[in-house]
Amino acid sequence: MKTENEGQSKGVVVVTGASAGLGRSIARQFAENGYDVSLLARGEDGLKAAKAEIEAMGKRAVYFITDVADANAVEHAAEETEKQLGPITVWVNNAMNSVFSPVKLMQPDEYKRVTEVTYLGQVYGTLSALKRMLPRDKGVIVLVGSALAYRGIPLQSAYCGSKHAIQGFFDSLRAELIHDKSKVRATMVQLPAMNTTQFKFVKTRLPNKPKPMGKIFQPEVAAKAIVYAAENDRREVYVGYPTVQAIVGDKLAPEFGDWVLAKTGFDGQQTDIPEDPNRPNNLWAPIPGDHGAHGTFDAEATYNSPQLWLSMHKKELLTTALTLGGVLLGSMAYNKWMTNKENDFQI
């Protein structure tokens, strides 16, 4: 189905991790909003399917089989994107990987791999984006974060550590761009638990199948927030009340968070279905096939976030509140004036 934006383009967006899960949803949302899309991921089946989806929406698309842990491969994809689609307007660092495992059972090479994909992949993407955006003095870099960038949870130490690293990198990048008076903008979107494909494919040592912890959101919710962050001057965007709760709660009472997660974080990240200890995982290589955007939790996931809606419309709401307040104050002043006039007349 083609969109009303066919033939027109707001610009070119690069999306990493675009073959499945959240990245697939992000790519669709940017195409729907009028962008041509460059798709980066390891899985060619998903990349081909994503490209076909975007072209069916009337937008141009290219894909590059890319492991974001390889800085040279990321740079090559950026160079080819500009050759084939034009100047990169937005770069979305989304690719991730994880291992569900207690720290005591983790292996050094697993920490290295998750860090290289989830953290350094965002650094390498940012470097390639800056190389092109800074000379033009325009462009937006979106770093995809998580509530876990602020509040670590058990059984995902490699992922939480990587997201914390992204948060620190983001702070440094923002300060430098401001110092240089650059018009290139960096923004970070902090996500809640989502119904994506990762829970079927990440490496796990848990006895039961892994699941998102807490309230589950569909990836389309986060994709809309990411497009919004790219198009609006926001330092950070929190997605979902659970994200706000986790971040603010950790700032106020981190020790209480430790205690709660010690009690709930193990069972809360597992279903009641035993996991096959020998099932394939995507830590080192992609799993063949087109896996789409959604995971296996459609029945539990929501497409709605009142918190995000309020966040995205806070300027309009503030303007409306100020307008109504002005009308109310004006009405009160007028009534008081009329009362005083009546009293003067009676005298």
Domain boundaries defined on the chain = 11-312, 314-347
User: Residue 314: its pLDDT value, please?
Assistant: 72
Tally helices (H) and strands (E) across the chain: 12, 13
Which of these CATH numbers, 3.40.50.720, 3.40.50.1820, 3.40.50.2020, 1.10.150.120, describes 11-312?
3.40.50.720
Half-sphere exposure of 45 (CA within 13 A, CB side): 7
Which of 111, 9, 105 minimizes the C-alpha distance to 57? 9
Q: Which residues of the chain have pLDDT under 70?
A: 1-7, 315-347
To 10 degrees, what angle do helices 44-56 and 21-32 make?
20
Nearest-5° Cα angle at 295, 54 to 18: 35
User: Residue 18: its pLDDT value, please?
Assistant: 98
Please give the distance of CA 159 from its chain centroid, rounded to a whole number.
Answer: 14
Count of positions (residues) in the chain:
347
Q: Which amino acid is at 104?
A: K
Q: Under DSSP, is residue 155 helix (H, G, I), strand (E, B) or coil?
A: coil
- Where does residue 208 rank: exposed (0-12), middle (13-18), buried (19+ CB within 10 A)? middle
Per-residue model confidence as pLDDT tens digits over 169-202: 999 999 999 999 999 999 999 999 999 999 999 9
What are the Cα distances from residue 346, in Å, to 90, 110, 295, 340? 69, 87, 76, 10
What are the Cα distances from residue 109, in Å, to 5, 156, 198? 45, 15, 20
Q: In sequence order, what E strands does 101-169 have?
A: 140-144
Look up residue 299 and give its two tokens.
């029945």
Q: Under DSSP, is residue 144 helix (H, G, I), strand (E, B) or coil?
A: strand
Q: Is residue 26 within 8 Å of residue 41, measured between CB atoms?
A: no
Enclosing H/E stretch for 273? strand 270-274
Q: What's the pTM?
A: 0.89
Q: Which amino acid is at 87?
A: P
User: Residue 313: its pLDDT value, please?
Assistant: 82
User: Residue 272: its pLDDT value, please?
Assistant: 96
* Calpha distance 210→199 (Å, rounded): 6
Which of 128, 156, 126 minimizes the C-alpha distance to 141? 126
Q: Under DSSP, is residue 207 helix (H, G, I), strand (E, B) or coil?
A: coil
* Calpha distance 259→125 (Å, rounded): 36
Q: Has 159 been annotated as catalytic?
A: yes
User: Residue 311: its pLDDT value, please?
Assistant: 86
Per-residue model confidence as pLDDT tens digits over 284-295: 999 999 999 999
Query: Could you say which of 63, 159, 228, 238 is catalytic?
Result: 159
User: Residue 2: its pLDDT value, please?
Assistant: 46
